[in-house]
Structure 1
C-alpha cells in the first residue's frame, strides 16, 4: 500500500460504522467502538539477524512518521502517548477498555489525534506481538477515550 492508500483507509474508517461484535474486517480487526487497520506488515523475522530487524524497524518508523506528517497537516501535531502504563495496568488485572487493552500488548507508543468534527480518536503505531514476529504499521480509529 502507498501512503495515499493509507490515508484513504484512515478517512474511510473515520466515517465507517462500528460493528456490534469483535472480529476481523477487510483491513484488520474491529469491534464495538473501534477499527484497527493493519496498514503494512513486514516479513516474518524469525530467521533474520539483528541488523535486518533494525533496518525493518527503521523502515516502519519512517513510514509511520511520513504518514504522521500528513495527518499533522490536517489535524495539527499529535500527542505522543506511551502505552507502557496501560500494559502494566492490564497485566496487573485492571480491566482496560478495548481496543486499548489488546493494543497495549503489541504497540509501545502512539501518535494520537482527536480531530475536530470527527468525534473519534485516530492513532498510528508500530506493533509487534513478539520480537521474532513481523512488524505492523497500525491505524486505530475509536470513540473510546484512551485510559
Structure 2
C-alpha cells in the first residue's frame, strides 16, 4: 500500500485552488461540513484537509511512518514556497502552549480553527492576507499515532490570532 492514498489532491495547483476558494468564501453563522467530509467551516474559520497519508493501524514501523511524514512535509514545503512568493515570509505560530492567540489562559475556550489545529499539530505557518482581516495557516497534524498524517489549511479571521510585532 503506498504511503499516500486518501483524499490527496496531489498537486500544488489544486491545493492552492482550495485555499483560494476558502480564503474568499464568507464564514458561515454556524459550524458544519457542507458537502465535503474533508472540509468544515464555522463562525470565523474554514479548515481543509489538503492531503492525507495512510493510517497506521496495521503497520506503525518507523520506515512507513517516516516516509509518509516526509512526503507531507515535501508537499507543505512546496505549497509554502508558492504562498511565500505570493504573500511574503510566514509567521511561525506555536499552537501549544497556545501562544499567538488573544488570550493564552487555558480556561478560555480557543477559537476555531486554532482549537482543532492545537489538538493535532504543534505549530503552523501563517500568512496574513493583504487587504483582508484573514490569515491562512498550514500545518501537518496527526490526532493519534495510529491515525493518518494530514496536511491542513486553516483560514481564520484576525480576531482568532494575534499578529506578531
Please, what TM-score do these two structures have when normalized by structure 1? 0.91
| CA distance in 2 between partners of 1:119 and 1:94 (Å) | 22
2:138 to 109, 120, 124: 124
- Partner in structure 1 of residue 161 of structure 2: 146
Kept after mapping to 1: 8 A contact 2:52/2:148? yes
Kept after mapping to 1: 8 A contact 2:113/2:155? no
* Greater helix proportion: 1
Structure 1 residue 94: deviation in Å? 3.0
- Partner in structure 1 of residue 78 of structure 2: 66
Q: Can you list the C-alpha shifts for 1:34-83, whole angstroms capped at 9, x where unaligned? A: 10011111111112211110111111111001100000000001011111
Query: Which stretches of structure 1, 4 residues or longer, exceed 3 Å deviation after superposition?
Result: none
Kept after mapping to 2: 8 A contact 1:14/1:118? no
Give yes or no for the alignment of 1:57 onto 2:69: yes
Structure 1 residue 105: deviation in Å? 0.6
Q: Which runs of 5+ in 2 are unaligned?
A: 1-8
Paired residue total: 145
Query: For 1:86, what is the secondary structure of its paired residue?
Result: coil
Out of 118-127 and 68-77, give the one that drifted further: 118-127
Give yes or no for the alignment of 1:111 onto 2:125: yes
Cα RMSD (Å) of the superposition?
1.7
- 1:26-105 to 2 correspondences below 5 Å: 26=36, 27-48=38-59, 49-86=61-98, 92-105=106-119
Q: Which runs of 5+ in 1 are unaligned?
A: none
2:147 to 129, 133, 137: 133
1:24 to 33, 43, 47: 33
Please, what TM-score do these two structures have when normalized by structure 2? 0.81
Query: For 1:105, what is the secondary structure of its paired residue?
Result: helix
Query: For 1:126, what is the secondary structure of its paired residue?
Result: strand
Kept after mapping to 2: 8 A contact 1:86/1:101? no
